[in-house]
Structures are given as structure tokens and as C-alpha cells.
Amino acid sequence: MTIVSHRHKFIFLKSRKTAGSSVEGWLAPLLGQRDVVITSDENRRLPVFSTPHPVTRFAAVERPFKKVLRLVRPGFRLDQHSDAVDVRRVVGEEVWRSYYKFSIERQPWDRLLSLWSWRQHRLKREISFDHFLDRIERNDGDPLVQYWSNLPAYTDEGGSIIVDRVLDYAHLRAELSGVATQLRLPLAVDSLPKHKSGIRARSHGVESLSPAQIKRVSHLCRAEIELFGWKEPACSEPA
């Protein structure tokens, strides 16, 4: 979800396959009635039903009402993975400048493997990792590869980072602890839940990638690799 917390003056921009659902569950208990929580349509909070942030009580009634609200209520013009530029436009420059904005990123070889596994599971389709990369390269609109890049979650149209901090998924607990300290949030990383885990087979780790696959991912994700200075993973197979 995208979270705009007026109570604690922060904006969390959810990226894909970076434990975003776990982080939203971690943050949810802190949120107040004025905070904007933009999640999936069925989970969005309505002003008249006092629905808790993460859960819908009256789905059959709420869903059609929410479709109308998306046309008239600014927060409903966003979605759970809204681009940073869209969130900035909706909240306004004053809030954007004064609130602490953060997202999460994951080194791309591991992230795309995770996205590949998750999309196969969710869409009930089987596809090889090479064919998954083929579809990304073709940009053919296949739901398997839609929104495969996280760059829009924290950069502008020119590719410059516009949030205050992009947390490193590889050190997420330490990074979140730093955010909690900076914002004085009464949260401990020990309470971070684990959502959407256990989908990817252990045999589908980064070490399973061939040199050619590593190079393909490097080419697709060269922008974020340059932003964060990631190095290609070692591969035991000869090139």
C-alpha cells in the first residue's frame, strides 16, 4: 500500500517484491483516522463505515461505493503501488517536501526471480525464467511482467530519486530500525510480519542463474544498478 501518515508525517511508497506487504502490516497499527492508506480496492478505508485500515468488513457494499469515490476523492485516485510523481501530485508540494518519504529496493537479480515465482503462483501460469525475461524485453503487456520495475516508486520521469531514502532490502530490519528511530515510531523490527513468503523454491536462488541470464537482468535493470552501485552476482558456471 501507499501510506500517507499525517499523524507521523511520513509517506511510504510500496515497491514490488521488497517485503512491502510486511512493512505495511508493521506500520498499520500506528495509523490514525486522518491518515491516507491506499491499498487494494477491497481494503481501502471508507469514512462512513469506520473500517479498519488493513481489513474490509462490508466488501459487497464497499466495493461499488469505492469506485465512485475514486472519481471524487483525491486519495482514491492512487493505488497501492502508485508512482512517486502521482503521490506527490495528489498530496501537494507542501506535504511532499515536509514529510519523510521512503521506499524499498532489492538487487534486481534476486527481485526478478522473486517476481517471476510470485506471478506464476498468483496467475497460475508456468513459464521459464528466460521466457519471463523475453516478455519484459518485448514489453508486450502480459500480466506476468506488468510493472516489473520498481523505479517509478522512488524516481521521477527523468530517473532521479525523489524520496528521502530508499531502503536496502538486503538489510531491511536494520534499515527499518533506522526509520523508526528517525521518525520516533514506537515500533520494533522484531514485530515485522512475514507476508507472501515461502512461494519461491529454494532451487530458484540467484546462484541458479546462468551467466547469460545475469547479463540480461543487468541490461534490463541498468538504471537501478547504476543508482545503487550493485555488482553482478558471481556465477560458478563458465561464461
Tens of pLDDT, residue by residue, the chain (239 residues): 688 899 999 999 999 999 988 898 888 888 877 787 765 443 344 454 434 443 334 445 555 655 555 554 544 445 555 789 988 988 899 999 999 999 999 999 999 999 999 999 989 999 999 999 999 999 888 999 999 999 999 999 999 999 999 999 999 999 999 999 999 999 999 988 876 555 555 656 898 899 999 999 999 999 999 999 999 998 655 54
Tell me what pLDDT residue 213 has.
Answer: 96
What pLDDT shows up at residue 174? 95
Q: What pLDDT does 53 receive?
A: 40
What does the buried/exposed string (b/e) look like for 75-90 if buried means 16 or more CB atoms within 10 Å of the residue's CB?
A: bbebbbbbbbeebbeb
Q: Which three cell numbers stand for residue 4?
A: 500517507
Give me the residue label for grid cell 503462483.
121
Q: Which of 68, 39, 67 is nearest to 55 (CA)?
A: 39
pLDDT at 68: 56
Q: Where are the alpha helices (DSSP H) in 73-155?
A: 84-91, 93-98, 108-123, 129-138
pLDDT for 109 equals 97
Q: What is the pLDDT of residue 76?
A: 44
Q: What is the pTM of this model?
A: 0.80
